[in-house]
Structure 1
Amino acid sequence: MEFKVYQKELELQSRGWIPTFHDVSKEIIEIVEASGVKNGTVCISSHHTTCSVMIQECSHDVDSFDIEYLQHDLLDIMRKMIPDFEKEHQYRHPGPVHTQFGRYVNEPGDFTSMNTDGHLRSVFFGRSETMAIKDGVLDGGEFAHVYFVDWDHVRARRRQLNVTVMGTSDNVENRKWNNGEVINTLRKYTDEEKAFDVHYTLQQQR
């Protein structure tokens, strides 16, 4: 059995002024196909600390902000939990040392460090997702799309998404656990737990 690793980088342009949701489903599918991996996994990970990877349904309708409805619903919730950075000292971060570090690495201005909301939102969502590859096909279910989310909206900037495909070109035999028997995780009551209680008498006589 040959084990293969295939890596690619996607370059994306975020617009700034509002978080950007990049639908990269087409590119991920093409990378999986090009990898030659028939059965394995693909890890989709952000290169940046203010960005996330999200697997979610495409909601099709797009509003005047050029954001899908479901994405904007998500953004509205995140804004309630982690408000947009709108004024200086709204958050503890960035402190004076971090702001000076930004100048040291030639950031265009102190404003570029005022992206605390992006960092915190990225922590909630995480920076990567891993999906299964079955028989050469990305297993996302019927409706899944892959989104790269740039929560940092202080400026338009270039972003990088890393894609690592790992697995084998060999076939996999029957995947069904216990021949596909449905696992019932619902609670099962014992006879003692279902036994008659004298307090039921009046209800049953009505």
Structure 2
Amino acid sequence: VMSAIKESNIKNGLCLVQTAHTTCSVYFDEYMHDTNYYGDDYLTVDIDHLLDRLVPRQTTENFPYLSPGPKHIAYGMKKTDPNYPAEKWSMLNTDAHIRADLLGSNVTLGIKDGRLMNGSVGSIYFVDFDQTRERNRIVNIILVGDDK
């Protein structure tokens, strides 16, 4: 994000960081300096623990969620996009959709004097909650402003 702002020459304006993936989130939070043995900062781990209690993982069809239903499964089985394998189990990701809904898909921060207004410890995080498949993910950075 910082390099995109620098390359744009925008001095004052807005920065939108957004994902169109419905199982992904972009959110803004404080960077924590302490990490667990996997390298995850403690606040991220705390958020994960909270989400695990609120939104249990979907491990089989129709439990603990109704979604995806038979019409959506039929739709998914017809897709030819390599990011969406034609496997019914790959659609058992309702938990990922709900988690992404809770954290949101975008962050908008100001740009002042060519710098992102994220404070001294604020960071932008991207997370993909879908654990059913590997895929390429896209994050969009949209900058609006002037060079004065």
Q: TM-score, normalised by structure 2?
A: 0.91
Among residues 139, 144, 148, which one is paired with 2:122 in the alignment? 144
Structure with a larger share of its residues in strand: 1
Does the alignment pair 1:67 with 2:40? yes
Which residue number in structure 2 is paired with residue 42 of structure 1? 15
- Cα shift at 1:82: 0.8
Does the alignment pair 1:29 with 2:7? no
Does the alignment pair 1:89 with 2:67? no
The alignment covers a number of residue pairs equal to 143
Q: Deviations over 1:1-44 (max 9, x none)?
A: xxxxxxxxxxxxxxxxxxxxxxxxxxx00101111110000000
Which residue number in structure 1 is paired with residue 30 of structure 2? 57
Q: 2 CA distance for matches of 1:78 and 1:135?
A: 37
Structure 2 matches for 1:9-28, cutoff 5 A?
28=1
Which residue number in structure 1 is paired with residue 76 of structure 2? 102
Report the 3-state secondary structure (helix = DSSP H, G, I; strand = E; otherwise coil) of the residue aligned with 2:89: helix
In structure 2, what residue type is equivalent to 1:52? Answer: S
Q: 2 CA distance for matches of 1:75 and 1:161?
A: 21
Q: Greater Rg, structure 1 or structure 2?
A: 1
Q: 1 CA distance for matches of 2:135 and 2:37?
A: 21
For the aligned residue pairs, the C-alpha RMSD in angstroms reads 1.2
Report the 3-state secondary structure (helix = DSSP H, G, I; strand = E; otherwise coil) of the residue aligned with 1:60: coil
In structure 2, what residue type is equivalent to 1:72? Answer: V
* Alpha carbons of structure 1 residues 112 and 66: separation in structure 2 relative to 1, 3 Å: farther
Report the 3-state secondary structure (helix = DSSP H, G, I; strand = E; otherwise coil) of the residue aligned with 1:158: coil
Q: Using CA pairs under 8 Å that are at least 6 residues apart, name the structure with larger relative contact order, 1 or 2.
A: 2
Report the 3-state secondary structure (helix = DSSP H, G, I; strand = E; otherwise coil) of the residue aligned with 1:30: helix
In structure 1, the gaps of 5 or more residues are: 1-27, 171-206
In structure 2, what residue type is equivalent to 1:99? Answer: I
Runs ≥4 residues deviating over 4 A: none
What is the identity percentage for the equivalent residue pairs of Structure 1 and Structure 2? 33
Report the 3-state secondary structure (helix = DSSP H, G, I; strand = E; otherwise coil) of the residue aligned with 2:136: strand
